[in-house]
Amino acid sequence: MHPVDNLTNEMDERNDARMHFRTKPRIKEVIHRAAALSGLDDSAFAMNAAYRAALETIAAHERTVLRPEDHAVFFAALDEPPEPTRELRAALKRSRDRTVAK
């Protein structure tokens, strides 16, 4: 059995925000079983799993990882960007035509 870190207990905040959702009985039973094996109640287990998944999803969308061979090419392009292509100029014009300045 792997020990489960209860990440939600590490936060110094009140538990007063609610989330309500329904699930299938089979899913509930699996969560209940896993929670019991982990030594957590169903809510703590589900909240920890959801919180970990949320953090991983956010990280995956906010971070870009480059392979070493791509790193040099990427930063070289930032240092010396190529001239804009005809397609890029057309896209910029379309964007400006649709954008309303405030």
pTM of the model: 0.60
Q: What is the per-residue pLDDT across 15-46, written as a single tens digit (0 to 9) for each?
A: 888 888 899 999 999 999 999 999 999 999 99
Q: Is the pLDDT confidence value at 94 over 60?
A: yes
Scored b (16 or more CB within 10 A) or e, 27-57 reads eeeebeeebeebebeeebbbbbbeeeeeeee
Specify the pLDDT at position 79. 95
CA–CA separation, 13 and 18 (whole Å) = 13
Residue 58 identity (one-letter amino acid): I
CA–CA separation, 97 and 70 (whole Å) = 34
Helices (H), 1-102: 25-38, 42-62, 68-79, 86-98
Specify the pLDDT at position 45. 94
**Structure confidence at residue 2 as a pLDDT band (50, 70, 90):** low
Q: What is the per-residue pLDDT across 50-73, written as a single tens digit (0 to 9) for each?
A: 999 999 999 999 988 899 989 999
> How many structural domains comprise the chain?
1
Q: Which domain holds residue 67?
A: 1-102
